[in-house]
């Protein structure tokens, strides 16, 4: 049977490999502490869960919803953007509901690119950006995110490459995963100016915009002048409200891009389950005290892991946002993959090799904070045993911002 080359020749999804690795280790009798994937582990807010349950009993709950989203949910997203960022949005023309932001970002290249056209993809980054470009028959041009440039795209390098093969789409992710860096408005403004000047659609994955540790909340791409012309931002309730399996997401921004996504949704999907939209509206417009509690929990875990790794001699970048810690592989411990494999075999601690997120992740590993304090403490104790064996660690290079 013939199968599409896009599928046959696509690499296996990084997090499928991670889950399989954990299962194989457990089958061998290893007591695995899984700090590889970012699976929110805290309980969802009670009022949000109740909204979901109550909506299921409504007669219309099992009917097809509008593919672009129900009015109340689109209004709730608009209210959130107004209150959180001071950005006014048209629910009808500048917002679309999604089965999680991953689905929307996977379809964005279909809306922007013709076959063979170029999309700019950060490296290291969420693997979906590159996969989405691949399945849309586009070409991914990597934008290295390195300490020397504050883990931001090098605009000069992007402009130089535009002269040969112009890119038509740029993926961003701020607050950033895996580094935890927060982009400032001025930095986002420079990227929007680039998009306007070079005719590049600028997409920001803002999945962690409400899990932050800075004094000021991270900005939205749409706060920047000109962003509504070329910008689109994807949001999800997964991390903010601890409901990853519910798959409640949305995209906001440029009317042309949102219309294109709506058209794709109409062809490829049948809308987000109505009770989930009710729950989403309740989350976005209700009390945000729960979000502050989650943020406090992740801050405590961040401090615990950063301090613990630092005491063991690891070179760690203290994250400004999100729920991961990015650290250097010890000097002499081999590649990222070798180090992480040895860590699992010898200590029973599973972390993500930096290369799972791109070429420029070599030499790094990522630790997820989505585990209870006691689990994180046990993982650090196990790492201490490995460190006591005499491994030397790199110093410097990961860099303060």
Q: What is the pLDDT of residues 93-105, one digit of tens each?
A: 999 999 999 999 9
Map out the domains of the chain as residue ranges: 5-43+290-387, 46-285
Q: Can you give the pLDDT at residue 388?
A: 57
Question: What's the CA dihedral at 11, 242, 69, 107 to 10 degrees?
Answer: -10
Q: Can you give the pLDDT at residue 366?
A: 98
pLDDT at 90 over 60: yes
Sign of the C-alpha dihedral, residues 53, 279, 242, 123? positive
Q: What is the pLDDT of residues 322-354, one digit of tens each?
A: 999 999 999 999 999 999 999 999 999 999 999
Buried b (16+ CB within 10 A) or exposed e, 142-164: ebbbeeeeebbbeeeebeeebee
Q: What is the CATH number of domain 5-43+290-387?
A: 3.90.1150.10
Q: Can you give the pLDDT at residue 398?
A: 44
Structure tokens at 323: 């729920």
CB atoms inside a 10 Å sphere around CB 51:
20
What is the rounded average pLDDT of the residues 390-394?
41
Q: Can you give the pLDDT at residue 395?
A: 39
pLDDT at 250 over 90: yes
The CATH class of the 46-285 domain is alpha beta
Q: Can you give the pLDDT at residue 387?
A: 66
pLDDT at 86 over 70: yes
What is the rounded average pLDDT of the residues 234-260?
97
Give the residue among 362, 135, 364, 99 at the shortest CA–CA distance from 245: 99
- Is residue 106 within 8 A of residue 135, CB to CB? The reply is yes
């Amino acid at each position: 049977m013939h199968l599409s080359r896009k599928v046959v020749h696509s690499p296996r999804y990084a997090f499928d490999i991670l889950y399989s690795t954990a299962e194989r280790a457990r089958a061998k009798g290893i007591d695995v502490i899984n700090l590889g994937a970012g699976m929110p582990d805290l309980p969802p807010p009670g009022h949000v869960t109740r909204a979901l349950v109550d909506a299921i009993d409504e007669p219309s709950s099992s009917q097809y919803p509008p593919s672009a989203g129900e009015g109340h949910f689109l209004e709730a997203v608009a209210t959130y953007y107004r209150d959180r960022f001071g950005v006014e949005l048209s629910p009808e023309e500048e917002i679309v509901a999604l089965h999680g932001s991953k689905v929307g970002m996977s379809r964005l290249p279909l809306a922007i690119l013709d076959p063979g056209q170029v999309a700019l993809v950060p490296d290291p980054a969420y693997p979906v950006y590159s996969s989405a470009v691949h399945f849309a028959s586009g070409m991914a041009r990597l934008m290295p995110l390195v300490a020397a440039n504050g883990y931001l795209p090098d605009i000069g390098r992007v402009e130089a490459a535009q002269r040969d093969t112009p890119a038509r789409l740029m993926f961003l992710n701020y607050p950033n995963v895996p580094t935890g860096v927060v982009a400032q408005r001025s930095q986002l403004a420079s990227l929007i100016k680039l998009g306007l000047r070079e005719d590049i659609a600028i997409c920001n994955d803002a999945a962690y915009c409400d899990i932050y540790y800075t004094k000021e909340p991270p900005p939205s791409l749409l706060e920047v002048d000109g962003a509504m012309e070329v910008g689109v931002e994807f949001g999800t309730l997964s991390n903010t409200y601890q409901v990853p399996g519910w798959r409640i997401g949305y995209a906001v921004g440029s009317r042309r891009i949102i219309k294109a996504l709506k058209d794709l949704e109409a062809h490829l999907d049948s809308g987000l389950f109505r009770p989930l939209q009710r729950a989403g509206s309740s989350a976005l417009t209700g009390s945000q005290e729960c979000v502050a509690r989650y943020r406090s929990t992740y801050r405590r875990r961040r401090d615990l892991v950063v301090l613990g790794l630092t005491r063991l001699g690891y070179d760690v970048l203290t994250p400004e946002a999100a729920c991961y810690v990015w650290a250097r592989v010890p000097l002499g411990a081999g590649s990222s993959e070798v180090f992480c494999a040895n860590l699992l075999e010898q200590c029973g601690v599973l972390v993500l090799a930096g290369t799972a997120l791109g070429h420029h992740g070599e030499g790094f590993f990522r630790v997820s904070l989505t585990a209870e304090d006691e689990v994180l403490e046990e993982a650090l104790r196990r790492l201490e045993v490995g460190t006591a064996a005499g491994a030397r660690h790199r110093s410097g290079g990961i860099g303060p911002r």
